[in-house]
Amino acid sequence: MKVNLCQIDELNLHCVGCCGHDFSSRFEIEKAIKLNTESFFNAKDKKKWGERSPNYVRTCGLCYNAILVGDKAFCPLHPLQNNGKELRDSDCDFEYMCKTFKVFLTWKEEKKNNFIKFLKDKQLDWYDYSIGMDSSSLLSDFEKVYEND
């Protein structure tokens, strides 16, 4: 099974946990992502839009480039959103992978499938999924339930 935990469209799970650090409150993150989204859709040049801030992250901890379209949170500058073209600047940590994803990649298929089912059963939104992935709390909760796998 080839699953990218960052964006699991079939489960409607989209993570922006790597798009910032030391996240503050849900209210502040939602406010910031709304501002990002509005400015993105008003921008004429997406590459320049991505370079608009001298700071990588807002005070709430979220990257200036993370947006929310419907209930899908993502970076519109990521190559997967641009036919393989990289639009992110050097402030982005291109190689970042959360502990949850790193551990997931070491598991056998059965355990991976159990984790996906576990996630599906949780019925998380983008915010809870992002925070849970980045903090490893979803990994910890899963391992408590499936500790013998």
Over the stretch 47-79, which tens digit does the pLDDT of each residue have? 889 888 777 789 999 999 999 999 899 999 988
Predicted confidence at residue 84, as pLDDT, reads: 86
**Within 13 A of 67's CA, how many CA atoms are on the CB side?**
19
**Within 13 A of 149's CA, how many CA atoms are on the CB side?**
17
Residue 6, pLDDT above cutoff 70: yes
Residue 149, pLDDT above cutoff 60: no
Q: How confident is the model at residue 138 (pLDDT cuts 50, 70, 90)?
A: very high
Residue 147, pLDDT above cutoff 90: no
- In angstroms and rounded to an integer, the radius of gyration of the C-alpha atoms of the chain is 16
Residue 123, pLDDT above cutoff 90: yes
- Please give the average per-residue pLDDT across 93-121, as a whole number: 93
- Please give the average per-residue pLDDT across 112-125, as a whole number: 96
